Each structure stands twice: as structure tokens, then as C-alpha cells.
Structure 1
Amino acid sequence: MPRSAPNILVCGTPGTGKTTLCQQVAEATGLKHINIGDLVKAQSLHSGWDDEFECLVIDEDKVCDALEDMMGEGGCIVDYHGCDFFPERWFDLVVVLQTDNSVLWERLEKRAYSQKKIQENVQCEIMHVIVEEATDSYREEIVHVLQSTTPEDMERNVEQLAAWCRTWRPSS
């Protein structure tokens, strides 16, 4: 049965504005915002802590199992830095946010990330790791890369995604 509302995945390097964008788009459209990091913590969908990367090690199978019914219903905007483990059938649009490296560095410093973690994330951004992951994992026509450096970028991205939701029609 086709979904009555779209599902959107918003991904990108930490600090690119995924959560803020998703919250604002959800508010503007009525989509349900699902922050995967929060879901993993709330439902213990992980296999412990990774000291080297200073983060929880998510159990991708458990995450997908927890999301299956919600994604089938539609109307979700999912927020996570990675994307390659989510089934392609879930998403009507995949958005990759990118941020200028100097701005990204400052944002991650404000989060009190270690220098190593900042360097790794900025390197990911420089190398377009998430863009490549998205284009390798999803149909080219549903992947869109959006700049997310300034407040004006954020405003434009919210407007663009809200407009896309208003015109979305289920595929047959």
C-alpha cells in the first residue's frame, strides 16, 4: 500500500545542521522527526561505547527493525549522519547537508569534540564521504546535496523541503 505522506532522510557530517533542519521541517509540514541518535539511546539500539570514536556503536539491524512500521506508514523525516544501512524503499528524498569546513570546525569545537574527532569529521566533509555514501546507496534522482553553512542556507533549505512535501505524490 502506498504511503500517504513522504519519508525524508537528512544526513551529513556531524555539525551540518541536520537536527535543526529536521525540527523546522517537521514543524512546517507535520512530518514526524526521528533523530536516530536519540532513538538509539532511548531504546538501547547499540552494542556499547566506542572509546576511539567517542560514541555509541549502533546496532543497524535493531535500528531498522525499530523503524520498519513507522517508515511503512510514511510521514517521517529521519536525521542521522550516515545513510547506507537504511533500506532504499523507505525514502522518497535523501538530503545530504554540507557545511564550509571552517564553520564546521567551529561548530564541533562548541560541542566540545576532541581535536581528533573534529579533524576526522572535517576530513569526512572535505572528502564528501556522506555524499558518496548517499549516491552509492540511493537512486540518483532522490539524492540532493544542500549547502548548510549560514542561517540563510537553513531558511532556504526548510522552505525548499516544505515546498517539496506540499507537492509530493505517492508513486504507483
Structure 2
Amino acid sequence: MSRSRPNFLVTGTPGVGKTTFSGMMAARFNMLHIPVSRLIAEKHLWHEKDEQRDCTIYDEQLLDDEIQKILSENSEGGVIFDFHCTDIVPSECIDYVLVLRCDSDILYKRLQQRNYDPKKITENVDAEIFRVVLDEVIDDFPQEMIKEISSDTMADLDHALDMVGELLSMSH
């Protein structure tokens, strides 16, 4: 499979800024942004609700079929998948994994602003402190594909966009 543009997985704990950053990337570099959580909701790619966590549990087969369709329709690359789970796209279809990291106090405030349940806030802040998503990425992808990005401020995200620009220029 030869792509003319790299595909990205933008991942991290809920609230770190994945969708914001992915949207900025898509706009600046004319790429296709796939917010996977929204895709699951809009196309009903889930099979049950987790009432305790106030979320849906996605159907792996339905999501996999949808992702394969997106990849085949965009075989030239330039796709940004944005999700907190790291195993939703086959690793051979991803060129770079951008892991957004956020200060726990900032993350706590962001999740409060989203009106998350206090238990869900604690769960997500703990996941960030204990590097849960980063460790999953390190287990699933080669080191040279992984870029860790601070997402505490918009300035951090602007700086990260410059880094993405460098990755894209090296990919030609």
C-alpha cells in the first residue's frame, strides 16, 4: 500500500484536545479528519450503553468495516483518525501516532466544563497521570512513529502543528 500522504492517529485521554488539534491539522494541511467518537454515534456503530460511565460501547466489527471503507476511499492517505483507543486502525495503515498529553489540573478543569460525572473525571485524570494511552501506543506501534505532544495551551498545539508540518515535508 503506497500512500502519497501519511495517515495519522491522534490519541490521548478524553479531554486532552484530540478533536481540537485534529481539526486544526485538517484545516492547516488539507487533510480528512475522522473524529471516531462522532462516527460511532452518527452511524450507530455501537451495541450497548454503559450507563455507569455515560458512554456507548462500540461494536468492533461495525467500526472496523467503517474504518476500512474510509481507508479504501482515501488510499492516497492524508487521513487523521482521532480517538482515545489506539487499536481501531490497523497499524500498517498509520504512519504517525500523535499522543496528546495534558497537565492533570488542566484536564480536570476541562472535564468539569464538559459536565462529566466526578467519578468519570477522576477515572480520566488517573488514566492521564498513569500514562494509560501512551503506554498502549508504545505497546502497539514502533517508537519512530510515536510523537508525544503537550496540549496544555493553544500555543502548545500551534507548536505541534509546526512539527506536523515538518513530518509532512519529510514524507514527500
Indicate whether the TM-score tops 0.5: yes
| Structure 1 residues 68-83: aligned runs within 5 Å | 68-72=68-72, 73=75, 74-83=77-86
Match of 1:98 among 91, 96, 101: 101
For 1:136, what is the secondary structure of its paired residue? helix
Q: Equivalent residue for 2:64?
A: 64
1:37-56 equivalence runs, <5 A = 37-56=37-56
Unaligned ranges ≥5, structure 1: none
- Please give the alpha-carbon distance, in whole angstroms, between the structure 2 residues aligned to 1:109 and 1:44: 27
Q: Percent identity?
A: 34
**Offset, 1:166:** 2.7
Between the aligned partners of 2:24 and 2:60, the Cα distance in structure 1 is 26
- The separation in 1 between residues aligned to 2:95 and 2:101, in whole angstroms, is 20
Name the stretch that deviates more: 158-167 or 111-120: 158-167
Q: Does 1:11 align with 2:11?
A: yes
Equivalent AA in structure 2 for residue 6 of structure 1: P
Of 149, 154, 158, which residue of structure 2 is paired with 1:155?
A: 158
Distance (whole Å) between structure 2 residues aligned to residue 120 and residue 13 of structure 1: 10
Deviation per CA, 1:32-90, whole angstroms, max 9, x where unpaired? 00000111011111012111111010112211211113224121011001102421111
The one-letter amino acid of 2:151's match is S
Give the secondary structure class of the aligned counterpart of 1:6. Answer: coil
How much does 1:28 deviate? 0.8
1:74-120 deviations in Å (ceiling 9; x for gaps)? 21011001102421111000011000000000000000000000000
Higher mean displacement: 109-118 or 140-149: 140-149
Structure 2 unmatched runs, 5+: none
Is 1:121 matched with 2:140? no
Give the aligned residue type for 1:13: T
What amino acid does structure 2 have at the position aligned with 1:136?
D
Aligned-residue Cα RMSD (Å) equals: 1.2
Runs of 4+ in 1 over 2 A off after TM superposition: 69-72
